[in-house]
Amino acid sequence: MRFIGPHVSIKENISFAVDRAAAIGATGFAIFTKNQRIWSAPPLSDESIESFRKKMAEKNYSPSAVLPHAGYLINPATPDEELRAKSLSLFCDEAERTVLLGLSTINIHPGAYKEGDRKDGLRRSARMIDEVLSAVPEIRIAIENTAGSGTILGSTFEELDELLANVNCKERVGFTLDTAHLFGAGYDVKNKATAILDDFVTRFGKEKLFGMHLNDSKVPLSSKKDRHESIGEGLIGKEAFKAIIQHDATENIPLILETPNEERWPEEVKMLLEF
C-alpha cells in the first residue's frame, strides 16, 4: 500500500483535515497539530480529538498513513538557552498533540547550529530528540533531511547518520526524505532516485524510512536551496517519482506532497497512485 496525499490545512477544526484529504482521493496526508508559526496555542479540545479519530476510522485512514509536521519555530540544535527551552516545550507539546490524535510519528527538522561547530549542533539536536522521546513515550520522531543552506544540519546521509549515532533512544527515531531537499543538497534524484533509496536502505535499513516528502524542485541540483515545485513541472521530473513509488522502501509509509499548487493536488495524487 502507498499512503499518498498532501499536507492539508487544519483551518477551523483539526478534524476537517481528514475531510480535505479524503475529498481529493488521498490515501495518506500530513498536518500541523497547531498553527506552525506561533509558540503556543490552546489545547486540543476533547471534541476535536474525538472528531478527528472518528473521521479517521470512517474514512479508513490508519495512523501509519498520517505524518504530522512539527512547527517551524522549533530549533533542536540552537545554542541559545532561551530558544532551546522554548523549542523543547513546543516540541513536547506537539508530540503530545500527535499522540492524543491517535497518531504515532512526528516529523522534525534537525535544526540550525547558528554558531560554533557542526558536531556540537548535532549533539544538541540529538539531546532534544531524546528529551522529547523521554517526555512522550508513545511518540516516534522522523528527522527530515535538508537542503543544507547555511548552518542548517542534516543535508547528507553521513550527517543524518552522525545525528542518529548521538541519539540514545534510536529504536524510536527514523527519517523523512524530502526529494527537493535531496536534490538541493546534491543528490541527483532526477537520474538516480532508485540508487539513492538503495543507499539509504543499505546505510540505515528500510525500517528507518518513516516517510517521504514528494516535491519537485524549482532550483537546480546542489543549489543548497529549498524551493518546491509541482510534480513534473520542476527540475526533477515525473520519472524520478515513478521510480520512488515503485521502490519497496516506500511501502506503507506516508508519501506527502508539499507542492505549491493546491489545485493540482488531486491530479498529482492520482498520478502517483497510478505509478
Please give the radius of gyration of the chain, using alpha carbons only, rounded to the nearest integer: 17
Q: Are 217 and 183 in contact (CB under 8 A)?
A: yes
Q: Which residues pair with 154 in a beta bridge?
A: none
Q: Cβ-count burial of 116 within 10 angstroms (0-12 exposed, 13-18 middle, 19+ buried)?
A: exposed
The pLDDT value given to residue 129: 98
Residue-wise pLDDT for 253-275, tens only, equals 999 999 999 999 999 999 999 99
| pLDDT at residue 37, rounded to an integer | 87
Q: Which residues are catalytic?
A: 37, 69, 72, 109, 144, 178, 181, 213, 226, 228, 258
CA dihedral 6, 8, 14, 16 (to 10 degrees): -90
pLDDT at 123: 98
* Confidence tier at 51 by pLDDT (50, 70, 90): very high
Which pLDDT band, with edges at 50, 70 and 90, does 116 fall under? Answer: confident
- Mean pLDDT of all residues in 94-118: 96
Residue range 3-274 forms a domain whose CATH class is alpha beta
Q: Which residues pair with 5 in a beta bridge?
A: 256
Q: Are 139 and 104 in contact (CB under 8 A)?
A: yes
User: Domain residue spans in the chain?
Assistant: 3-274
Instruction: Compute the average pLDDT of residues 163-191.
Output: 98
Q: pLDDT per residue over 216-228, tens digit each? A: 999 999 999 999 9
Residue 115 has pLDDT above 90, yes or no: no
Percent of the chain with pLDDT over 90: 98
| Distance (Å, whole) CA 184 – CA 100 | 35
210, 170 contact by CB (below 8 A): no
Q: Which three cell numbers stand for residue 73?
A: 519555530
**CA–CA gap between residue 120 and residue 143 (Å, rounded):** 17
How confident is the model over 144-162, as a mean pLDDT?
98
Q: What is the pTM of this model?
A: 0.97
Query: Per the structure block, which three cell numbers stand in for 102?
Result: 491517535
Task: Please count the other Cβ atoms lying within 10 Å of the Cβ belonging to residue 177.
Answer: 25
